[in-house]
Amino acid sequence: MTGVDQLLDNWVLGEMDRDPTRASALGLPGYEHRLPDLSAAAWEARPRQDRKTAAAIGAIDLGAQALEDQIDLVLVLAELSGRATMADWQQWRRDPLLYIDPCLEGVHLPWLHRLAPEQELVEATVDRLAEVPGVLAAGRSNLDLDLVPALFARRGAAAARAGAGFLAELLPAEAADPRSRQRLADAAAGAAAALGSFAHWLEEGERRSRGNWAIGEERYSALLADRELLSTDAGSLHQRGLEAYEALSAEMTDIAKRIDPGAEGWVELLARLDAECPSTPEEMRESYEHWCGLARDFLVERDLVSFPDGERCAVVPSPVFQRPVLAVASYQEPPPFSSSRLGHFFVPYPPEGESPEGIAERLAGNGFHAIPTTAVHEAYPGHHWHLVWSAQTRRPVRKVVTTSYFVEGWALYAEVMMRQEGFFTDPRAELSHLGARIFRAARVVVDTGLHSGEMTPEQAVGYMRDKVAMTAAVAVAEVERYCSWPTQAASYLTGSLQIEALRDRWLAEERGDLHAFHDAVAADPGLPVALVERRLFGQ
């Protein structure tokens, strides 16, 4: 083992020890009984360790290393640079979800993936549930209401209440053995009570929360340059979003006229098309499942990608605790360090106790004509195909560090490619496909506008409703997500455009056909696109 290999392996082990819930989610054994240490001392130690690792990498002559080692080292440096940019922002004092999510994902994902026998899962889950009150106590101690934004407190409270219901009512039923179910119920009771108490504390604190969520244009631009390796800043990215929106809007206007010459415009027509939607959440799930199958069959018939052995995508309702904070479809990959190739497409069910009006809005956000492009994005050849295919990489660090600028960029590229290959045969589905793409252009505008201080959340919600025919409930959930996750919303369109440029170069240089390009470009889970280009073209 070389010195570079040892450095990278030690860094990965340190990351996994620091975040055992993530380690077990990735499929690494030995971490499944613990939750992370989220005390103030642990948070404060992280930047010091990151600086030490960055210094060690900085002492290495990158030019003397093999290309694949260069890529891995630059990848880790980019991750550490992004953390350094945000270190003084102290998100751990602002965001309650940093404490809630490990408690819920830490017990949900092991049962979702079922990599171990039931009795082992029970033992690990009981141990993790016992640590939930301590993690939430650390959250109470660390969160500063002068820094916590009110919308973060509100989102956290909703997630904690939904999570308490999940632990108390649903988790025990995962076990088949009655005694195991009782053990889970007993252990979950205390954890659920702690989540309920945490939710109440956040609800009380929301009235006193005075924090800001906007990281500012300078930090935003630094993240783009240092973590994402992009040669653009927040201002130019904002302009790119506006220009993409106008170009897509013109194309959609032409298609809308062909569908219905009497339509007032594509926004009005899309709103009418969205009304043609499932009548129940289960009908929505069945429609997504149907189109995932059609998309996979299309890839096989056109020979557009290779498939790893044993891959399968289950189309299932979204987790109960996820529903209050995520209003769109999502995907959970199989643990990449495991042999499993079973992924889960989460259909965006309404939150428990949602009003009939709210349920109707959630269903309208998943209309029949929009479902085909979402199935492509989340499953074939979007997230599911990409992440089961890339799990074959032999570079461990690339399974640990990923960027949404490739992961989401790939999924949006998949939509474009499938349109170009003729998958969307109904012009209404084609218009809805473009509606999904212009939605991502609007996301660029809104995300940069919010974090540079040029847009309020209310203005952002209005923009999304007016510009992309989005329902009010979905628009609010979307904008609140952007506030809490800066730069991610801009990753879809930005990454897609980068990948489209790589494809054009690949084909122009006659390096192989489209199938070969897809297999090659998606061979890693989520490198920054600049590093993918270096891997493909050797520069």
| Angstrom distance (rounded) from CA 276 to CA 432 | 12
Q: What is the mean pLDDT of residues 356-362?
A: 88
- DSSP code of 149? -
* C-alpha to C-alpha distances, 420 to 30, 406, 430, 505, nearest whole angstrom: 45, 20, 11, 17
pLDDT of residue 471 exceeding 90: no
How many CB atoms sit inside 10 A of residue 393's CB? Answer: 15
Whether 319 shows a pLDDT value over 70: the answer reads: yes
Report how far residue 66's alpha carbon sits from residue 538's, in angstroms, rounded to the nearest whole number: 11
- 395 with 68: CB under 8 angstroms? yes
Summarize the confidence of residues 473-500 as an average pLDDT: 94
Specify the pLDDT at position 1. Answer: 65
Give start and end residues of each alpha helix (H) in 396-512.
396-400, 404-420, 427-451, 457-468, 472-484, 491-508
pLDDT at 539 over 80: no
Would the pLDDT of 310 be above 90? yes
Token pair listed for 530? 């600049």
Tell which residue, 522, 525, 529, has the closest CA to residue 492. Answer: 529
Nearest partner of 486 among 453, 459, 517, judged by Cα: 453
Mean pLDDT value across residues 486-512: 97
CA dist., res. 273 & res. 251, Å (int):
17
DSSP β-ladder status, 330-332 and 342-347: antiparallel
Sign of the C-alpha dihedral, residues 25, 31, 32, 35?
negative
Q: If 0-12 CB within 10 Å is exposed, 13-18 middle and 19+ buried, where does residue 75 land?
A: buried
Residues 157-162, mean pLDDT to the nearest whole number: 95
For residues 452-464, average pLDDT: 94
Model's pTM, two decimal places? Answer: 0.94
Write out pLDDT tens, residues 83-122: 999 999 999 999 999 999 999 999 999 999 999 999 999 9
- Residue 249 · residue 331 · CB < 8 Å: no
Q: Is the pLDDT of residue 326 over 80?
A: no
pLDDT computed for residue 413 by the predictor? 98
Q: Which long-range contacts (CB under 8 A, 24 or more apart) does 166-171 make?
A: 166/104, 166/108, 166/319, 166/320, 166/321, 167/104, 167/107, 167/129, 167/191, 167/192, 167/195, 168/192, 170/320, 171/107, 171/108, 171/111, 171/125
Q: How confident is the model at residue 358 (pLDDT cuts 50, 70, 90)?
A: confident
d(CA 399, CA 493): 23
pLDDT tens across 371-404, in order? 999 999 999 999 999 999 999 999 999 999 999 9
Q: Are 528 and 405 in contact (CB under 8 A)?
A: yes
Percentage with pLDDT > 90 across the chain: 91
Tokens 């996301």 belong to: 443
List the structure tokens of 70: 């260069």
* HEC-encoded secondary structure of 70-138: HHHHHHHHHHHHHHHHHHHHCHHHCCCHHHHHHHHHHHHHHHHHCCCCHHHHHHHHHHHHHHHHHHHHH
Mean pLDDT for the stretch of residues 197-222: 96
Burial of 539 (0-12, 13-18, 19+ CB in 10 A): exposed
Rounded to whole angstroms, the Cα distance separating 305 from 514 reads 8
Instruction: Say if residue 428's pLDDT is above 90.
Output: yes
Which backbone phi and psi does 135 adopt, to 5 degrees? -65, -45
Report pLDDT for 473: 80
pLDDT, one tens digit per residue, over 18-35 is 999 999 999 999 999 999
Q: What is the pLDDT of residue 117?
A: 96
Q: How far apart are CA 257 and CA 269, in angstroms?
A: 10
3-state secondary structure 194-243: HHHHHHHHHHHHHCCCCCCCCCCHHHHHHHHHHHCCCCCCHHHHHHHHHH
